[in-house]
Chains A and B, each alone.
Chain A
Amino acid sequence: MTGALQLGVIVGGLAAAAVVISRPALTTAVPRLGGALAALTLAAIGLLPPLLLACAAAALGSRPASPGAVHPDGRAVAGACVVAAGPPGPAQLVLYGLAVALAAGTGLAAARALAAGRRAGLAGRALAAAAPRLVPGGMTAWVLPASQPAAWCAGLRRPRPVVTTGLLDLLTPAEQDAVLCHEAAHIRLGHTRVLLAGAAIARAYRWLPPARLAWALLRRDLEAAADDEAAGITGPGPLISALARAALAAVPPGTAAFADPDDLRYRIRRLQQPPAGGGRRGLALAAAGALLTASLSLAACQALRAGVTWPGLAGCLALLGYPAWRPAWAHPRRLKAYPP
């Protein structure tokens, strides 16, 4: 593949991402695609800055050190611009240092998110105290005997919906099922891992406005996608009232409120009036997502020094594309009819 074409694909993918995250109304009818695009955008934000800095450092290194001196091998530098030829100068060291610092910041945020996620997993005495409950979609949720109203996806390796008796007591049976279906949909669509990775990158780059936009879009669209799944099983009515009752429930002081008020309003409005016209938007977003995936794969290939051969490109594509696209393609039709 020629350099100009590669550059075109990379820039085109980033431009598509910029359009989508700056106009979140585009994804209202197709939250699954919106979520995939937001996840890919966050991956780009996590990947590209360190890579660009390393490239800049390598480019500096490829210049002749003193006027008239001939650089031994410019091609090695141009091919995989992570390691420059020749001994690094001070400017190069600074750029490499920045690249390493950015990558390390992302790694640290990921490690912290992983540790926090592990703590929130259901295990030990709490697991023994919990009672299993079948979710209409065919998954087992755990009911935790606790008065504080809460429902979440617990665990990293084998996530399961966990709901407290305090929350179930507030809801009618249909509303209980709606909440459990919503949490189960997060798990079936693979949201927990995408959210974890996204949270780590968004945290590491919280000073960067595009990262904040992509993170907000990711959270909103994954919630909307899970809402759609749950509404498909129980109907929108029980889910709307369950969301309202849960949001109004009192929590102990000091517990973080998990709501951006506008997000909850957006979700309820979507459920009341399902957005129409997903077909063409979906096609356009899928095309944008494909371009962004290709763009990221090219960049990742450079980073991994896999070279831009077709097998290398396919490997990078699978590595990056699978987790980000899984929420979009996971099929909802394995669900059984409700009520049984």
Chain B
Amino acid sequence: MERRDVAGTRLGALESELLELLWAAGQPLGATELARRLPGPPRAYNTVVTVLTRLVGKGLVERDGDGRRFTYRPAGDRDELTARAIEKLLAAASDRRAVLARLVTGAQDPGLRAELAALLRDSDKGQGGESQQ
């Protein structure tokens, strides 16, 4: 299947086309209207709704409606979606159980912090001394 990079998410061709349409529209659209606006051969309504639901699941598109008729709008512009993805990734990478090979940051223990600060002072002093020679 053809896949395109839209705002950095690897998406199927139809997914990215729908997202582009929503960005271009500037207003919430229904699935019927989106299906009509899609370039190329006509797509079944059900196909469009399925792909839109997938986009909602990925957090790229938001859905409003009363349960009978839904409209769809993008969850943000390209930059916003990227920033949100990075934030989400960093949160996931902070999960102690998920990422085990992770560099130690944000040590809390006061004794340890004092030791590390002293260590850095010594090494910086040592480097400064060498460069002066």
Contacts and interface: CB of A to CB of B under 8 A. Distances in A.
Asked if A pairs with B, the answer is: yes
Interface of A: 112-113, 116-117, 119-120, 122-129, 144-146, 148-154, 162, 164, 167, 179, 182-183, 186-187, 191-192, 195-196, 199, 203, 219, 222, 226, 237, 240-241, 243-251, 255-259, 261, 264-265, 268
Given A116-B92, A126-B86, A248-B116, A152 B104 contact: no
A259 B123 CA distance: 22
Contacts of A250: 106
B128 interface: no
A195 B111 CA distance: 28
B119 A164 contact: no
B99 interface: yes
Interface string B29-59: 0000000000000000000000000000010
Point out which of A127, A219, A237, A261 has the most chain B C-beta atoms below 10 A from its C-beta: A261
B101 A258 contact: no
B97 A116 contact: yes
Main secondary structure of the interface of A (DSSP, over half): helix
A150 B105 contact: yes
B101 A191 contact: yes
Given A125-B7, A203-B97, A240-B123, A119 B104 contact: no
B66 interface: no
A123 B5 CA distance: 11
Contact of A241 (B84, B101, B115, B123): B123
B81 interface: yes
Nearest to A123: B10
A240 B121 CA distance: 12
Q: How large is the interface on B (under 10, 10 to 19, 20 to 34, 35 or more residues)?
A: 35 or more
A244 B92 contact: no
Given A256-B94, A259-B112, A264 B104 contact: yes
Given A146-B90, A186-B101, A246-B105, A128 B8 contact: yes
Contacts, number: 169
A264 B106 CA distance: 12
Given A116-B99, A148-B90, 12 more contacts: A120-B95, A125-B84, A128-B7, A144-B90, A182-B103, A183-B101, A186-B101, A187-B101, A237-B123, A247-B112, A248-B116, A261-B107
B27 interface: no
Nearest to A172: B127
Contacts of B88: 126
A246 B103 CA distance: 8
Nearest to A248: B116
Interface string B100-133: 1111111111011101110110010000000000
Nearest to A262: B112
A120 B115 contact: no
A264 B93 CA distance: 20
B21 interface: no
Point out which of A117, A124, A148, A250 has the most chain B C-beta atoms below 10 A from its C-beta: A124
User: Which 6 A/B pairs are nearest by Cβ-Cβ distance?
Assistant: A128-B8, A116-B98, A251-B106, A125-B8, A125-B85, A195-B100
Contacts of A162: 93
Nearest to B115: A265
7 contacts: A124-B9, A124-B58, A125-B82, A126-B82, A144-B86, A144-B89, A226-B101
Contact of A150 (B8, B90, B120, B123): B90
Contacts of A144: 86, 89-90
Contacts of A245: 120
A191 to B, nearest CB: 5
B80 to A, nearest CB: 10
Contacts of B10: 123-124
Nearest to B84: A125
Given A116-B97, A124-B8, A152 B106 contact: no
B112 A120 contact: no
Contacts of B96: 256, 258
A243 B104 contact: yes
A137 to B, nearest CB: 15
Given A125-B9, A192-B101, A222-B101, A257 B82 contact: no
Contacts of A243: 103-104
Contacts of A237: 123
